[in-house]
Amino acid sequence: MLDIQLLRTDLNHVTKKLASRSYRFPIEKFNQLEADRKKIQTQTQELQAKRNAASKLIGQAKSKGEDTTSIFTEVASLGDELKQFEIILGQIQSELQNILLEVPNLPHDSVPEGSGEEDNQEVRRWGQIRSFNFEIKDHVNIGESLKLLDFETAVKLSGARFSLIKGSLARLHRALTQFMLDTHVQEHGYTEIYAPYLVNRDSLQGTGQLPKFEEDLFVVNTAGKTAHGDKNTTGFYLIPTAEVPLTNIIRNEIVALKFLPMQFVAHTPCFRSEAGSYGKDTRGLIRQHQFDKVELVHIVHPDQSYEALETLVNHAEKILQKLELPYRVMTLCTRDMGFSAAKTYDIEVWLPAQNTYREISSCSNCESFQARRMQARFRNENGKTTLLHTLNGSGLAVGRTLVAILENYQNADGSVSIPEVLQPYMNGLDLLRIVGGQ
């Protein structure tokens, strides 16, 4: 959430920055609400002054033995008016709050302006793209030929955009998860968290998914709660990413300076309705309703958040380097960033069958945007409570990493070599084969 004082003091600058994100701020409505707020506050102050003056008259009249009935009546009347003004002011502030909850974060000055992914800027590349001397298969053909990837049964069980992974491929999926967690905990110093997969509305509002993106979420309607299709105010939501529970650990907290920075990592399934993505990536594991991620979250001092962003990206890159998967790092332009981000780097892994790079991690600095929504603060060097900065990124998306391994490590005979770093997690298995013991 943006600081309302920034809107009050520099509205033109804020609206210009928001326009670069293709967001049109409701200037007229905001200005009208602000004018009403100021008017009510002025009237409230005037009434309070009258009531204070009248209260003094009561004391003076009593000391002189005079009748105070009329003055008491006036004070009571002023009190009733003040209560009405308080109600009106609360309504105005609620409307202002609703506006703020819909407004995306301001892009950092280093973020390139652009209208879409074609305007994202490449930062660096890593790894050698493999040359194949046979016809490249995509991950779906590879997995189905190995009889380890079963979309038909998944459709029977749940519907479209679900998958069933079997045998040694399921084991490889599990090995990837364990390898990522071990790397981030043992080498990068993260604290591992086992987090809830169901969260309440406050948690999703804190990180920015609500209220604007409710259609992207899966709602769990419990008995006696809201009916399907109604606004879910009391029930649970399935998490779209572990960013939600990890970041909300500090919601409504004041963190001691000595505990900063915090680095959390969690492996969770993630659930997304993929509203608005129909027709996109319908084949395979790229865009699923249910998928696994290893998520990284940093909670840091505001002065250190951009240094932390570079660290976060490097930690995610390290996984791809150990797996020897080629990738590139991109700075997202203003109109391609997520709602809560001030700056985002995407890491894109090379997929041979698509002959292109595809996103496998998105690492963002949200600055104080989420912290203001959550009221997540710390005591700074001067003992003053100050908003924290929050960052998050995938380290990595497990399913997409599996896709990258299947395609980059495929062999002419249909088998798939297992990256060397994963073989200890596979009890020494070095190959996914077409036949035998799967």
- Is residue 393 within 8 A of residue 363, CB to CB? The reply is yes
- For 136-177, the three-class secondary structure string (H helix, E strand, C coil) is CCCHHHHHHHCCCEEHHHHHHHCCCCCCEECHHHHHHHHHHH
Q: Is the peptide bond before 261 cis (omega within 30 degrees of 0)?
A: yes
76 a known binding residue?
A: no
Does 99 appear as a known binding residue? no
- Residue 227 annotated as part of some ligand binding site: no
362 labeled part of a ligand binding site: yes
Are 394 and 360 in contact by the 8 Å Cβ rule? The answer is yes
Task: Provide the residue type at 332 as one letter.
Answer: L
Strand partners, 262: 299
| Residues 189, 183: Cα–Cα separation, whole Å | 9
52 a known binding residue?
A: no
**Closest CA relative to residue 177, chosen from 83, 289, 265:** 265
d(CA 362, CA 347): 6
* 3-state DSSP assignment of residue 324: coil
Alpha-carbon span 15 to 152, nearest angstrom: 49
Is 273 annotated as a binding-site member? yes
Q: Which structure tokens are listed for 327?
A: 């990738």
Residue written as tokens 């395979």?
284
Q: Environment class of residue 116 by beta-carbon count within 10 Å: exposed (0-12), middle (13-18) or buried (19+)?
A: exposed
Neighbours of 344 (CB within 10 A): 25
Q: What is the DSSP letter of 216?
A: G
Residue 74, H or E segment:
helix 69-102
Whether residue 429 contacts residue 418, with contact meaning beta carbons closer than 8 Å, is answered with yes
Give the C-alpha separation, 160 to 287, whole Å. Answer: 11
Tokens describing residue 425: 């997690």
- CA-CA distances (angstroms) from residue 266 to 14, 109, 185, 247, 292? 35, 31, 10, 11, 10
The reply, when asked if residue 165 is annotated as ligand binding, is no
- Rg of the Cα atoms in the chain: 28
Q: Is 272 annotated as a binding residue?
A: yes
Tell whether 392 is in a known binding site. yes
Residue pair 75/55 in contact (Cβ under 8 Å)? The answer is yes
Annotated binding site for L-serine: 241-243, 272, 295, 392, 394
Annotated binding site: 241-243, 272-274, 295, 359-362, 392, 394
Annotated binding site for ATP: 272-274, 359-362
